[in-house]
Structure 1
Amino acid sequence: MIKCLRFFILSIFFIFPLSLFANFDFNANCLNAYRSIFELKLGNARAYIATEKKQRPNNSIIPLLENYVDYFTILTSESKADFDKLKANKSARLDQISDDNDRNSPYYLYAQAEINLQWALIRGRFGEYFNAAMEIKKANGLLQDNAKKFPNFHLNMKGLGLINAVLGNLPDGTLKSTLSAFGIKGNLQNGLNMFEKLAENLPKSSYEPFYEEVVFYYAYVLTDVAHSASAYAKTMKYTERIADTSLLKSYLQSYVCIKNAHNDEAISILAKKPEGGTYQPFPYLDYLEGIAHLNKLDLNAASYFNRFLQTNKGVNYIKDANLHLGWILLLKGDKAGYTAYAAKAINNGYTYNEKDKQAKNEAAGPVPLVDLLKARLLYDGGYLTKALQALDDQKTTDFSTDKDKTEFNYRLGRIYDDLGKDDQALAAYQTTINQGKNLKYYFAANAALQMGKVYERRKNATKAKEAFNMAIAMKNHEYESSIENQAKAGLRRLN
């Protein structure tokens, strides 16, 4: 057994491409550190990196691995303090790599591109869009040059795939306008194709250790960038071969399950996630677990949201967690309790992400009607029959405000849509549009977007384009950039 293990490790040294270049030596220490990073065992990764620094201080893989550790530290903590402290490390790491004399290695430009790209992704979470744009520009140029010098170096596609996908579906704003000024544009489908090729082929190649990282980014692109109907199936397929000891696997699978209405599966995955002191603290998983439990109207979800708020040191999801705690009290009949948590959703936390912006808007608005709230939560969990039952025996005229009338028809439309009742869905969507097109709420615009998708499925391109353009034409509502972006993507598919 020991001989076999030694042979396996020696084989990795001979076939793993990094080991071919003296100053980019992906040896056993580095391989163990990299694997630990992608299991979110960041303490273990730091220990392996420290050992490598003592043994081979000039190994240019070290600064890249250190940057991965910082990247996942900030990603899991969501802490602005961590971000402000760690971003100072970037320049020294790039200097260490660029001073390396092994410029004939495909990892020379690649490692610099990776560091720039990782910081660009993090900066975007904290509103530093101009700096993120500059780093994307730099990473894109480095990877393009590397692809010309080393056309058979597969890992170029990982960064280029991510840049293409994100830029190809980027909403209008500072980041997009800055990159456009540099002449940098993406293509979502090209990015998706690159990731699909890598996910399929890496396990059969000497680049196999990079597989988990590829799947991490591919799942993100499928779910949050492309809003792909295949996000769940592909994420579950490609994460299956990742070890169950990976906390990152639990995150990817539970996240895509919640986003795609596989709620019971998400609860099961999170209940079995690996735990212990070797893993990086990841409070967001408590937040996710709270979402999953509340989606099935399990009011014990409050314990998960409270744990998240107690352990979270980051800036995101504070408003949204408080709003969900308010909903729980509202479902219990405690309107005063809801009002208290709505105030927290308004006054506590930050608005770096869309979830928190929306939570603040909703908390500042009218108290939600319990039946509509139940239908919303059950729909999000994929409990379609129960969601429809929550709206049984009700009609538009039963509601007193335009907001509630619009939401009622919107909820019906989404439920009918997912039940495959297209004609009823289209009728409900049209009523939503008629009722709510001049309101600040997202219901009418998203109804137009979903209507376009129904007609697209039916191969009625004319009606689909009409609906997508209607969604784009509606302005000054919630989720405007996201809905408009998805509608534009629909038009591109049809063209």
Structure 2
Amino acid sequence: MIKKTLLIFILFLSFSFTSKANFDFNANCVNAYQAIFDLRLNDAKALIQKEKNQNPNNGITILLDNYVDYFTLLTTENKADYERLKNLRSSRISALEKQDRNSPYYLFAQAEVYLQWGMLKSRFQDYLSSGFDIKKADNLLNENIKKYPSFLPNKKSAGLVDVILGAIPSNLKGVLSTFGFTGNVNNGIKTLEYLAGALPKTSYSFYKDEVVFFLCYIETDLVHNKANYNKIMNYTASMDNSSLLKSYLQGYVSARNAKNDTAITYLLRRPKGNNYTDFPTVNYLLGNAKLNRMDSDANVYLISYLKEYHGINFRKDAYLKLAYYYYLRGDNNRYNAFIKMVKSQGDVYDEKDKQALKEANDAAPDINLLKARLFFDGGYYPKALAQLNGKDASDFKLQRDQIEVYYRLGRIYDELGRDGEALINYQRAISSGKNTTYYYAANAALLMGDIYALKNDKPRAANYYKQAIAMKNHEYENSIENKAKDGLKNIGY
């Protein structure tokens, strides 16, 4: 009887021990995490379920479930899925609050859930809720850093939050700082760059891909210094070749840095198979890159994107690019058909879609200007220049085209390092376009400010930044104004 009672007691203790809430980033969880960053989301779900079966109280599975939803929404941008999945944030936070309070993952995991949903909410235009989620994540991370200063994952997320809060537009910083929304972009980047080198030597090496993921977007979309291209690509080189995310990031970064041929190469050799999640945006990038190169099959990828994608962004822009594809081939019937699609399909959340709708409602583009623009976007600057060789405003009937030819020549000369000719043409674009709704004049003023800032001619730089800010009611107004304000700040004005 005593032996039987003792056996029951031991079994009870064993059951109690194994059932205790905990955070164990074990091999199952690391493999699931890596599958997520390969964009093999179904494989990740299976591994997470395996861990739940073996260790039902492992809190890491809650966090991994959130990662799956995060990447599902990033790759599909489906509004209906977002509305359905966003309600899981609160239940996951509640579940994490019941886990082991003595683990460095306790507050960290909660912060991650808030941070991921904060970024998703911003992507779906839910800005106020996004801000509060990111601030909540910031508070939790700061508390966890005090408790566990040597816990490296803290730095990964704290660095990202520093960048996000530091990148708040200048016109909002004053108001939001009263609510504690403060950050520093440069400090955040330094933290993430430190981790990119330090993590592989630690037990948290599996976090390296996530750090690279953040750095790619920050350096490309926020900093956008083309001199950093090789540095960013070196970061991505450490990712596994089986990763669809790796191919996408390499293609995206290359395309954004006008390395068009390289972008096409990366995107075409992406890994394929049923175990990878659908990622239609890859075809959108390919279609754009191939159109920039004037490839005959650019339409194939743009059509595939429109068939596969059910999200909120770039549909209007994709229809416009298809219209231009056929316009360049003299097929005006299809051009007009796709222009109608621009007007009737898709949303206008993103600036590209707003611009696409405006172009669709305007007169058809001049063929030479269109070719010059596409070649320019692909980084084929000599070809772009050849399209405009010997042309000036008098060669064009529309005021829009008269402004654009100077603006486009300025951009081309700027990229070719011919500053004198760039400045002359930018100034012509400003003089002819400063009172229109086109963005050419304002952006020309911004870019002139950048040129003079690099020459350390601060008074002239400030003058042109202020001109960019003073122009109102034009395309990309907020973006250009914020960049000009940042330019003034960088030169001490």
- Paired letter, 2:381: L
Q: Is this contact kept in 2: 1:169–1:489, CA < 8 A? A: no
- Quote the residue 2:8 is aligned against: none
1:177 Cα deviation from its structure 2 partner: 7.8
- Quote the residue 1:72 is aligned against: 71
- Quote the residue 1:402 is aligned against: 399
Q: Is this contact kept in 2: 1:169–1:226, CA < 8 A? A: no
- Quote the residue 1:443 is aligned against: 440
TM-score, L = length of structure 1:
0.92
- Quote the residue 2:110 is aligned against: 112
Q: Is this contact kept in 2: 1:125–1:352, CA < 8 A? A: no
1:183 has 2:180 as partner: yes
- Paired letter, 1:247: L
Residues 387-441 of structure 1: per-residue CA shift (max 9 Å, x gap): 0001112112111222111110110001000101010001111111111111111
Residues 158-196 of structure 1: per-residue CA shift (max 9 Å, x gap): 2222222222223368x8687445121222212221121
Alpha-carbon distance change, 112 to 144 in structure 1, aligned in 2, over 3 angstroms: same
1:280 has 2:282 as partner: no
Secondary structure (helix, strand or coil) at the match of 1:221 reads helix
- Paired letter, 2:332: K
- Paired letter, 2:93: L
More deviation in 301-310 or 333-342?
333-342
Q: Is this contact kept in 2: 1:284–1:308, CA < 8 A? A: yes
Q: Is this contact kept in 2: 1:133–1:178, CA < 8 A? A: no
Which residue among 223, 241, 244 is the counterpart of 1:247? 244
- Paired letter, 1:416: Y
Residues 364-407 of structure 1: per-residue CA shift (max 9 Å, x gap): 12211110010000001010000000111211211122211111
* Equivalence map 1:148-187=2 (5 Å): 148-171=146-169, 179-187=176-184
Partner Cα separation in structure 2 for residue 233 and residue 482 of structure 1: 26
- Quote the residue 1:313 is aligned against: 310
Partner Cα separation in structure 2 for residue 444 and residue 130 of structure 1: 32
Alpha-carbon distance change, 368 to 136 in structure 1, aligned in 2, over 3 angstroms: same
Show structure 1 runs of 5+ residues with no match. Answer: 1-20
Secondary structure (helix, strand or coil) at the match of 1:40 reads coil
Residues 219-262 of structure 1: per-residue CA shift (max 9 Å, x gap): 11111122233442222010011111000001111001111100
* Equivalence map 1:342-491=2 (5 Å): 342-491=339-488
Show structure 2 runs of 5+ residues with no match. Answer: 1-19
Q: Is this contact kept in 2: 1:219–1:231, CA < 8 A? A: no
Residues 323-377 of structure 1: per-residue CA shift (max 9 Å, x gap): 0001011101223432221221121011121111111111112211110010000
Higher alpha-carbon Rg: 2
Secondary structure (helix, strand or coil) at the match of 2:337 reads helix
More deviation in 469-478 or 161-170?
161-170
Cα RMSD of the aligned pairs, angstroms, is: 1.7
Partner Cα separation in structure 2 for residue 22 and residue 239 of structure 1: 36
Which residue among 107, 121, 124 is the counterpart of 2:122? 124
Q: Is this contact kept in 1: 2:283–2:304, CA < 8 A? A: yes
Secondary structure (helix, strand or coil) at the match of 1:95 reads helix
Partner Cα separation in structure 1 for residue 114 and residue 49 of structure 2: 23
Partner Cα separation in structure 2 for residue 166 and residue 373 of structure 1: 35
- Paired letter, 2:164: V
Partner Cα separation in structure 1 for residue 463 and residue 473 of structure 2: 20
TM-score, L = length of structure 2:
0.93
- Paired letter, 2:278: P
Residues 304-329 of structure 1: per-residue CA shift (max 9 Å, x gap): 00011111121211101000001011
Partner Cα separation in structure 1 for residue 435 and residue 191 of structure 2: 41
- Quote the residue 1:225 is aligned against: 222
Partner Cα separation in structure 2 for residue 330 and residue 422 of structure 1: 33
Alpha-carbon distance change, 178 to 489 in structure 1, aligned in 2, over 3 angstroms: closer
Aligned length: 473
Partner Cα separation in structure 1 for residue 230 and residue 443 of structure 2: 24
- Quote the residue 1:17 is aligned against: none
Q: Is this contact kept in 2: 1:169–1:485, CA < 8 A? A: no
Residues 444-490 of structure 1: per-residue CA shift (max 9 Å, x gap): 11111111121122222222222222212222111112112222222
1:37 has 2:33 as partner: no
More deviation in 82-91 or 60-69?
82-91
1:329 has 2:326 as partner: yes
Alpha-carbon distance change, 30 to 189 in structure 1, aligned in 2, over 3 angstroms: same
**What percentage of aligned pairs have identical amino acids?**
49
* Equivalence map 1:251-270=2 (5 Å): 251-270=248-267
Secondary structure (helix, strand or coil) at the match of 1:453 reads helix
- Quote the residue 1:95 is aligned against: 94
Partner Cα separation in structure 1 for residue 98 and residue 434 of structure 2: 58
Partner Cα separation in structure 2 for residue 129 and residue 191 of structure 1: 21
Partner Cα separation in structure 1 for residue 156 and residue 357 of structure 2: 36
- Quote the residue 1:212 is aligned against: 209
More deviation in 408-417 or 159-168?
159-168
Alpha-carbon distance change, 354 to 420 in structure 1, aligned in 2, over 3 angstroms: same
Partner Cα separation in structure 1 for residue 203 and residue 227 of structure 2: 28
More deviation in 161-170 or 122-131?
161-170
Q: Is this contact kept in 2: 1:319–1:359, CA < 8 A? A: yes
- Paired letter, 2:149: P
Secondary structure (helix, strand or coil) at the match of 1:299 reads coil
Partner Cα separation in structure 2 for residue 281 and residue 429 of structure 1: 42
Alpha-carbon distance change, 176 to 276 in structure 1, aligned in 2, over 3 angstroms: farther
Residues 96-155 of structure 1: per-residue CA shift (max 9 Å, x gap): 11112x222221111111111111111111111111111011111111111222222222
1:299 Cα deviation from its structure 2 partner: 3.4
Secondary structure (helix, strand or coil) at the match of 1:122 reads helix
Q: Is this contact kept in 2: 1:416–1:425, CA < 8 A? A: yes
Secondary structure (helix, strand or coil) at the match of 1:333 reads coil
- Paired letter, 1:86: L
